[in-house]
Amino acid sequence: MPLQGALVADDSRIFRVVTAELLREHGLEVFEAADGREAVEVLLAKRPELAIIDALMPLVSGFEVIAKLREVAPEYRPVIFIVTAVFKSRRWEAEARQQYQVEEYLEKPIEPETLVAAIGRHFPEFLGLKPTP
């Protein structure tokens, strides 16, 4: 499915604004959420193809967002990136990938080129490339 929309869920307003602007520059419709509860609501209502979710947010953590999404809408499978400034280890990354099927685990601070490259791994058309069959 082509990438048209993305959710940026992070309690850091600065991270949301900077990331959302980068995604909009690439032509995406961007939705924002400041906490985990809002992230679940936006994901279920808007169903973007990409979700960039902070691991540690107020009310509901990023991992709880994923668990709730899988429970409530198991047929909806967006590409999920976890971003974190706290959980920085291979153990956390391995757990996120295995238990929550996270496609990318990115440690903050994230350079724009790193985020663009990560998105391109899952959506080649984002980089102007044709998807491989």
pLDDT digits (tens, 9 = 90+) for 59-104: 999 999 999 999 999 999 999 999 998 766 677 788 888 898 999 9
pLDDT at 96: 84
Q: Give how many domains the chain has, as a whole number.
A: 1
Residue 88 lies in a domain: yes
Residue 103 lies in a domain: yes
CB 60 within 8 A of CB 35: yes
The DSSP code for 56 is: S
Query: Is it true that the peptide bond before 2 is cis, omega within 30 degrees of 0?
Result: no
Handedness of CA 78, 84, 88, 92 (dihedral sign): negative
The CATH number of whichever domain residue 37 belongs to comes to: 3.40.50.2300
C-alpha span between 25 and 89 (Å, rounded): 31
Total-model pTM: 0.92
Within 10 angstroms of residue 60's Cβ, the number of other Cβ atoms is 17
Question: What amino acid is encoded at 62 in this protein?
Answer: G
Range of the domain at 99: 5-127
